[in-house]
Amino acid sequence: MPLVKISLCKGKSHKEKKALMDAVHSALVDSFEIPEGDRNQRIVEFEPENFEYSEGKTQNFTIIEMTVFPGRTIAAKRKLYNKLVENLQKLNIQPNDILIVLQEPPLDNWGISGGLPASEVDIGFKLDV
């Protein structure tokens, strides 16, 4: 149940934004082995004057923040980072314009399935990939 927030400058078409969300989701399915239908994503767009980034970045600078259940190995995280970069390059977003941040709150801090802590629910997929 990753929660994905993609931040970028305004200007991309609906088709481009959908392709971006599909690319991110594909990387999660491949590397974290989440179910195909487990999609919780949002795109946040900023006017260029409200989205500052470091020297050397372009207006394609994209921040991908994911809040995920803890338990994935460093190998799975490396695979995720690599798949994200690979998938986004196909959309003409260069590696230098991609920043990825993972947050892993404990399962007790997720209220799911009608308000139960995720630590008390069979979530239906492995976390130790």
Tens of pLDDT along 61-80? 999 999 999 999 999 999 99
Question: What's the mean per-residue pLDDT of the chain?
Answer: 94
Rg (CA), the chain: 15
Please name the residues in contact with 22: beta carbons below 8 A apart, sequence gap of 6 or more.
none
Comparing 25 with 114, which gets the higher pLDDT? Answer: 25
CA distance linking residue 127 with residue 70, whole number of Å: 7
> What is the residue type of 22?
D
CA distance linking residue 123 with residue 112, whole number of Å: 9
CA distance linking residue 69 with residue 127, whole number of Å: 7
Which tens digits make up the pLDDT trace of 38-63? Answer: 999 999 999 999 999 999 999 999 99
State the average pLDDT over residues 81-90.
98
pLDDT score of 40: 95
Band of residue 114 on the pLDDT scale cut at 50, 70, 90 = confident
Q: What is the CATH number of domain 3-120?
A: 3.30.429.10
